C-alpha cells in the first residue's frame, strides 16, 4: 500500500534548516528555465544539500514558475545569487569546496569511476541547457565529471543530470544509508 505523506517522517522546514547537511553545494550556471531551477531546488531538498548557488541569468525565488516545480523547497534550501559563476566558484573554493563541473570534455571522468571522499565538501556545477558549463568555470574546476550515455542524444535535461549525479554522490558518500 502506498504510504501517506504523514507516514513518510519528513522534516519540517525548521528541522531541515537545523539538520546536518550533505556537504554539497549545487551551482547553477546560467540556467534558462524556471522549471529547471524549481526542480533543482526540490532535488536539493530531497538530498538535504548545503545550498544552491544561482548564477548569471538563472532565475531566483520567489517566482511563480519556480514555485510550481520546487513545491516549497525554496523555503527549506539555502541559496545565494552571484552575478557570474566565477564569483561563486571563488567563494566556494575559499570555503574549502572542491569544484566539480558536470560536463563532457576531453579529460572528463566518467561518473561511475569518480570516487567522492566523505572528508571533502563539493560544489557541483551544472551548466546552461544549450551551452553547458562555461569554459572559464571548467578551467577553475578540480575535475570534470561526465554521465555515461549510450543512446543517440548527447545530453540529458539538466534536472535529470542533477538527480543522477546527486544520487551517485549521495550513495557513494554513504548518506543514503544513514
Which of these, 122, 124, 126, 125, lies nearest to 96 by C-alpha position? Answer: 122
In sequence order, the 6+-apart residues with CB closer than 8 A to the CB of 105 are: 138, 144, 146
**CB count, 10 Å around CB of 108?**
18
| One-letter-per-residue 3-state SS of 35-82 | HHHHHHHHHHHHCCEEEEEEECCCCCCCCHHHHHHHCCHHHHCCEEEE
Q: Which three cell numbers stand for residue 48?
A: 538535504
Give the model's pLDDT for residue 178.
Answer: 56
Domain 31-177: CATH superfamily is SPOUT methyltransferase, trefoil knot domain (3.40.1280.10)
- CA distances 159 to 40, 69, 174, Å, are 6, 11, 22
> Would the pTM count as exceeding 0.85?
yes
Contact between 100 and 123 (Cβ < 8 Å):
yes
pLDDT in tens, 54-105: 999 999 999 999 999 999 999 999 999 999 999 999 999 999 999 999 999 9
Alpha-carbon radius of gyration of the chain: 16
The pLDDT averaged over each successive group of 10 residues in the chain (178 residues) is 86 94 98 98 98 98 96 97 98 98 98 97 98 98 97 94 98 83
Amino acid at each position: 500500500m502506498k504510504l501517506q505523506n504523514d507516514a513518510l517522517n519528513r522534516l519540517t522546514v525548521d528541522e531541515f534548516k537545523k539538520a546536518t547537511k550533505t556537504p554539497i553545494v549545487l551551482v547553477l550556471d546560467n540556467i534558462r528555465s524556471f522549471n529547471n531551477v524549481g526542480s533543482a531546488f526540490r532535488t536539493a531538498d530531497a538530498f538535504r544539500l548545503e545550498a544552491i548557488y544561482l548564477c548569471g541569468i538563472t532565475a531566483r525565488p520567489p517566482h511563480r514558475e519556480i514555485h510550481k516545480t520546487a513545491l516549497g523547497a525554496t523555503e527549506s534550501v539555502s541559496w545565494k545569487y552571484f552575478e557570474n559563476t566565477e564569483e561563486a566558484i571563488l567563494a566556494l573554493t575559499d570555503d574549502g569546496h572542491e569544484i566539480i563541473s558536470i560536463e563532457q570534455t576531453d579529460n572528463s571522468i566518467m561518473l561511475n569511476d569518480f570516487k567522492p571522499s566523505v572528508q571533502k565538501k563539493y560544489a557541483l556545477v551544472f551548466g546552461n541547457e544549450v551551452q553547458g558549463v562555461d569554459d572559464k568555470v571548467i578551467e577553475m574546476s578540480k575535475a570534470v565529471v561526465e554521465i555515461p550515455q549510450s543512446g543517440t542524444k548527447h545530453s540529458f535535461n539538466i534536472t535529470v543530470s542533477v538527480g543522477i549525479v546527486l544520487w551517485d554522490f549521495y550513495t557513494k558518500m554513504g548518506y543514503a544509508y544513514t
